[in-house]
Chain A
Amino acid sequence: MLLGSILVDGLVTGCLYALVAVGFSLLWWLTGIIHIAHGAVYLIAGYTMFALAVSLGLPFAVAIAGATVVAVVGGAAIQQVIYRPFQRRAATEDAIITVSLGILIIVQYLLVIIFGPEGVSIDAGLRKPLLADGPRVLDRFSLIAVLGASVAIFGLHFLLRRTRLGKSMRAAAENDSLAEVLGLPIKRIQMIAHALAAAMVVPAAVLFLCDTGVHPPEALHLVLMAAVVAILGGKGSVLGALVGGVVVGIAESGMVFIVDAGWRQLITFTLLYVLLLLRPQGLFGTKAV
């Protein structure tokens, strides 16, 4: 029973990681940008949600919609205002990563200065078990997280595989100069990708908000986890992100069994180290890295 509970708990956390990772992975694959500022979008989504739902008292659905709009605008803005000038200058990968990190730091500390370092959270009562005698971790939160993540990710996968937009994206990802020559609107495609990535992170932010809270100092850590999941699942593989997220989530939960508090993080990052050395293309990626 304990094992089952831990698995379920890990599954839930993993789905949240997956939601954050899938956007990260998508952007990396399509634009080649390591979007560390994805963490900034996450923070913006979380705080907006809090502001709308708690400070303004708007109903949940409205608040979520509002947060989505703000996040998408934010993500697109980062692309348009920050990344585009660098791309136009053919800046190096490192330069863009640096700028992305800078953006995350700016957003993180602006939020700390304005709202304080403790982060925000909502007590929505989602965590009460559904069945009085059933497994303790089976609560509304878990259901929403798993179902939500699955729907979102499978939806995205479907988008990429079946729709024309998806096909354009895949073409652009493989060879953007050629695609551009062939008439594909690369800029618009990249913008859409940023919007999609931002939208994917909103449910994760809302769920985190209702659970342990959205804390600015955790944003970087979350992006790192997203990077781990993205690498594990393979760059650009949407389903891979889901699988990777779940694997990481369960591993994190399961480690409680074996190891003491501090050492768990150690193991996570040692595994990352090993993963990067041995199989940077992850579980589902191709060798072209």
Chain B
Amino acid sequence: MSIFAIVALSLNVVTGAAGIVSLATGAFFGLGAYTTAILCKAGYPSLAAQLAGVTIAAVLSIVIALPALRVRGVFLLLVTIAVQIIFTVIAQSWISVTGGDAGISRIPPYAPFGVPLRGVAFLIVCIVEAAIVYEFCRQLMRSPFGAVLRGLRDDETGSAALGKNVGAAKITAFAVSGAGAAFAGSLYAHYTAFVDPFSFDLSVSILMFLIVILGGAGTANGPLVGVLVLTLLPEIFKFLPLPPGVAAAARQLLYGVLLVAVMYFRPQGILSTAPGARPIGAIRT
């Protein structure tokens, strides 16, 4: 769960603060996971693999975002969806590298500085790393940079007119979000010891998005609340006598219901102090 928290926190920077809806999170999450899987199995140390994943993700985020600077609103959303799907397709088809649909298994445990971590020890390290990311994002959003991002969300043209470098801000936000997701992805790969294309597809991106808006986009603690709710809520299904195969569909159904419900009743999320009905995105033109 702390792993998802990391992803949510970084997504929050882009979506919550800057108001850009990105559905490519799953792709970057997966990028970190696959990089770790491939490198660690080839014998590289975990931290190096993690760093590699984060760097690649950051670079790729910048590469993808750069041409998309002029693109606004729904078009940008479609761009991120395109990126997400491209990632899933590559993961499925580049069999020699990614193992295709069967994925990569037997990933060694997380071993920072050569010490393999399992069970409780791993959990503690994840929580610590999540706390670090949390603090980092919080500071980021309090900084002048954070203000620029919020300016982006509320009124992009205005910010540009005031001389803020809107483009650079957007790109940095994307890079942070991508890097954060990749960071979490590498932890995830160690945790499950198995990666495949379906763990990092569009539905994961949608889930991350839901987590962010549920908790309150743009707030520091929002993503945490979101992660809490969305990890615990589906556990209810374990107690219901559902026929096989229904449980997974029911969980997705729940996400759909929550998407509608959040937007309908409390679009700013549970924790946000922002005025209602204006959670993300610029004023409708």
Complex Cα gap A231–B74 (Å): 11
Is A262's CB under 8 angstroms from B74's CB?
Answer: no
Chain B, residues 243-277, CB within 8 Å of chain A (1/0): the string is 00110011011011111101110010000000001
**Known contacts A92-B281, A106-B253, A262-B92; is A276 also within 8 Å of B82 by CB?**
yes
For residue A212, CB closer than 8 A to chain B, the reply is no
Chain B, residues 62-102, CB within 8 Å of chain A (1/0): the string is 00000110110111011101110110011011100000000
For residue A124, CB closer than 8 A to chain B, the reply is no
> Which of A86, A92, A104, A276 touches B71 (beta carbons < 8 Å)?
A276
For residue B202, CB closer than 8 A to chain A, the reply is yes
Q: Which of A82-113 contact B (CB under 8 A)?
A: 82, 85-86, 89-95, 97-99, 101-106, 108-110, 112-113
Is B93's CB under 8 angstroms from A263's CB?
Answer: yes
Could you tell me how many residues of chain A have their Cβ less than 8 Å away from some Cβ of chain B?
Answer: 46
For residue A171, CB closer than 8 A to chain B, the reply is no
Is B89's CB under 8 angstroms from A265's CB?
Answer: yes
Could you tell me how many residues of chain B have their Cβ less than 8 Å away from some Cβ of chain A?
Answer: 50
Residues of A within 8 A of B255 (CB): 105
Complex Cα gap A224–B256 (Å): 18
Is B277's CB under 8 angstroms from A91's CB?
Answer: yes
Residues of A within 8 A of B78 (CB): 224, 227, 231, 272, 276
Is A110's CB under 8 angstroms from B253's CB?
Answer: yes
Residues of A within 8 A of B283 (CB): 92
Residues of B within 8 A of A220 (CB): 202
Complex Cα gap A112–B203 (Å): 15
Q: Which of A122-169 contact B (CB under 8 A)?
A: none
**Known contacts A265-B85, A269-B85, A276-B78; is A92 also within 8 Å of B284 by CB?**
yes
Is B93's CB under 8 angstroms from A262's CB?
Answer: yes
Is A113's CB under 8 angstroms from B259's CB?
Answer: no
Q: Which of A41-66 contact B (CB under 8 A)?
A: none
Is B213's CB under 8 angstroms from A117's CB?
Answer: no
Is A102's CB under 8 angstroms from B253's CB?
Answer: no
Is B67's CB under 8 angstroms from A112's CB?
Answer: no
Residues of B within 8 A of A260 (CB): 93
Residues of B within 8 A of A39 (CB): none
Looking at B92, B256, B260, which has the most chain A CB atoms within 10 Å of its CB? B256
Min CB distance A35 to B, Å, is 11
Residues of A within 8 A of B284 (CB): 32, 90-93
For residue B21, CB closer than 8 A to chain A, the reply is yes
Complex Cα gap A88–B74 (Å): 21
The closest CB in chain A to the CB of B20 belongs to A94
For residue B140, CB closer than 8 A to chain A, the reply is no
**Known contacts A92-B283, A276-B79, A277-B79; is A98 also within 8 Å of B73 by CB?**
no
Min CB distance A210 to B, Å, is 26
**Known contacts A265-B89, A270-B86; is A95 also within 8 Å of B256 by CB?**
no
Complex Cα gap A256–B283 (Å): 44
Complex Cα gap A261–B100 (Å): 13
Complex Cα gap A231–B75 (Å): 9
For residue A280, CB closer than 8 A to chain B, the reply is yes
Residues of A within 8 A of B211 (CB): none
Min CB distance B239 to A, Å, is 17
Complex Cα gap A264–B249 (Å): 28
Chain A, residues 220-234, CB within 8 Å of chain B (1/0): the string is 100010010001000
Is A95's CB under 8 angstroms from B280's CB?
Answer: yes
Complex Cα gap A176–B68 (Å): 29
> Which of B68, B89, B245, B258 touches A266 (beta carbons < 8 Å)?
B89
Residues of B within 8 A of A110 (CB): 253
**Known contacts A90-B284, A95-B279, A280-B71; is A102 also within 8 Å of B257 by CB?**
yes
Is B250's CB under 8 angstroms from A113's CB?
Answer: yes
Residues of B within 8 A of A32 (CB): 284
The closest CB in chain B to the CB of A106 belongs to B256
The closest CB in chain B to the CB of A273 belongs to B82
For residue B228, CB closer than 8 A to chain A, the reply is no
For residue B206, CB closer than 8 A to chain A, the reply is yes
A-B complex: 7 closest residue pairs judged by Cβ atoms:
A262-B93, A105-B256, A102-B259, A94-B281, A109-B253, A102-B260, A106-B256
13 contacts between A and B (CB under 8 A): A86-B264, A92-B277, A92-B283, A94-B280, A98-B21, A101-B206, A101-B256, A104-B256, A224-B81, A266-B86, A266-B89, A272-B78, A277-B68
Other A-B contacts than A109-B250, A266-B86, 5 sampled, CB-CB below 8 A, are A102-B259, A263-B89, A276-B79, A277-B71, A280-B75
